[in-house]
Amino acid sequence: MVELRHLRYFCAVAEAKNMTRAAEKLFMAQPPLTRQIKQLEEEMGVDLFERQARGITLTKAGEHFWKQAQLILEKLESSIEETQRIHTGEKRLFRIGFVPSVFYGQLPLLIRRLRQTTRAEVELHELKTGEQVEALKAGRLDIGFGRVLMPSADEDVTQTLLFREPMLAALPINHPLAGSKMSMAQLAELPLILYPAGPPPTFANICRDLFTSRGLKVKVAQQVNDIQTALGLVASEMGFTLVPEQVKRINRDGVAFVSLEEEGITSPVICSQRAEASDEMMTAAMTIVNELVQNRIDGKYP
């Protein structure tokens, strides 16, 4: 039977890539550690490591198992901490993941009302949507707000489309067309700044697909990590970028936010949460979320 100690031993070896260093980290001798890893492989019927003269490396199966083992151990640690807080009567920690463009909309209202109506201690984590999904699986987040439907979301994580938000073009304020609507074809003639950087799917892929789906080729000037850096480059007249409508609230110096001629060009706002999360705190949070979304649909705020 695979036990938690096997997972801890395996993760230590996988991280160190060396039995001796892993044994030192675990404060145990190397031979017992080697036996435990061999026992784990025999129990699973899988070779997790490749033994070579210069050291050990993970097999493809080992790489996959390392990722899953880390999630299991992180979830266990999170569950223990949460149980201890409940036992001692501490405030419930409610952890929210978000992409920066969502923070300019109704997220601050959610945080304020959640703190007012519950005993929650809200903790914010700026994470890409894919990172939110992994953090939810590991128990490091309670809820996430992003822009992308992730194929890695499975039966453990549910994703819900809250609404679709119109997109705007962010142009240098002195651009000749900054005062009028622009077509996608006109924008395709300009250098494009994409964000965020990182493996797909991301908001950058959504933006690029908006052009390619219309048969337009874009000239990517640069891809950066976050929206603020992208807007900084726009203000420096290095190109334009696409942003969700709510971003115009920041009134960035040197940047003009321009509507698009084409209708229906939007960005989704996605809510991600663990499938089994249904306690009083989550119920309170989703009640507020649903009200804020309905208010937006009714035009009470952008």
What does the pLDDT read at residue 223?
A: 94
| CA distance linking residue 266 with residue 218, whole number of Å | 18
Backbone angles phi, psi at 123, to 5 degrees: -120, 125
More confident: 268 or 121: 268
pLDDT per position as a tens digit, 155-191: 789 999 999 999 999 999 999 988 889 999 999 999 9
Percent of the chain with pLDDT over 70: 95
Q: What is the pLDDT of residues 212-249, one digit of tens each?
A: 999 999 999 999 999 999 999 999 999 999 999 989 88
Q: How far is CA 68 from CA 132, 203, 300, in A?
A: 16, 26, 44
User: How far apart are the C-alpha atoms of 74 and 67, rounded to whole Å?
Assistant: 11
- Does residue 277 register a pLDDT over 80? no
Cα dihedral value 292, 293, 297, 300, nearest 10: 10
Q: Is the pLDDT of residue 300 over 80?
A: no
**pTM of the predicted protein model:** 0.69
Q: Can you tell me the mean pLDDT for 180-209?
A: 92
- DSSP labels for 108-176? HHHHHHHHHHS--EEEEEE--HHHHHHHHHHTS-SEEEES---TT--TTEEEEEEEEEEEEEEEETT-T
The mean per-residue pLDDT over the stretch 29-53 comes to 89
pLDDT for position 119: 74
What is the pLDDT, as a whole number, of residue 86?
66
Q: In the prediction, which pLDDT does 184 show?
A: 96
55 pLDDT above the threshold of 70: yes
**What pLDDT was estimated at residue 127?**
92
Distance (Å, rounded) from C-alpha 196 to C-alpha 231? 12
24: its two tokens: 């030192």
- Residue 297 is predicted with a pLDDT of 82
- 116-155 per-position pLDDT tens digit: 888 788 999 999 998 999 999 888 899 999 998 887 667 7
Q: Residue 286: pLDDT band by 50, 70, 90 thresholds?
A: very high
Residues 60, 63, 64, 67, Cα dihedral to 10° = -170
